[in-house]
């Protein structure tokens, strides 16, 4: 997947490598994805970060609505990645339910 495809409409899984609780424009985090060659930052304010708790270093997150900036990429929508577990009946359940 190239950078244009990833930033157009897809969600990107990434691993948080640093959380900045007091950034110059508010709290934010930086993550890296094997799908992209640039770091991705995202705000931890509620309009971007869709969770109640902040991520920690090493947390897998799902980022979307990516926009290219001079120093990397910015995600305008971010949430935790939640694994899907198969039930014995063969149906999928998201662990967040």
pLDDT digits (tens, 9 = 90+) for 39-88: 999 999 999 999 999 999 999 999 999 999 988 999 999 999 998 888 77
Q: What pLDDT score was predicted for residue 86? A: 81
How many CB atoms are closer than 10 A to CB 45? Answer: 11
**Digit-coded pLDDT (tens) for 1-46:** 444 444 445 899 999 999 999 999 999 999 999 999 999 999 999 9
97 pLDDT higher than 50 = no
Whether 75 contacts 11, CB under 8 Å: no
pLDDT at residue number 35? 92
Q: What is the pLDDT of residue 54?
A: 98
Closest of 75, 82, 65, 71 to residue 28, by C-alpha:
75
One of 3.30.300.10, 2.40.50.140, 3.30.70.260, 1.20.1050.10 is the CATH number of 3-81, namely 2.40.50.140
């Amino acid at each position: 997947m190239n950078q244009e495809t990833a930033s157009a409409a897809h969600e990107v899984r990434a691993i948080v490598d640093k959380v900045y609780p007091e950034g110059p424009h508010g709290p934010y985090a930086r993550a890296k994805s094997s799908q992209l060659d640039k770091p991705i930052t995202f705000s931890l304010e509620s309009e971007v970060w869709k969770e109640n708790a902040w991520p920690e270093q090493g947390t897998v997150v799902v980022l979307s609505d990516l926009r290219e900036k001079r120093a990397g990429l910015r995600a305008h929508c971010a949430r935790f990645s939640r694994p899907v577990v198969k039930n014995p009946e063969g149906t999928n359940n998201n662990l967040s339910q």
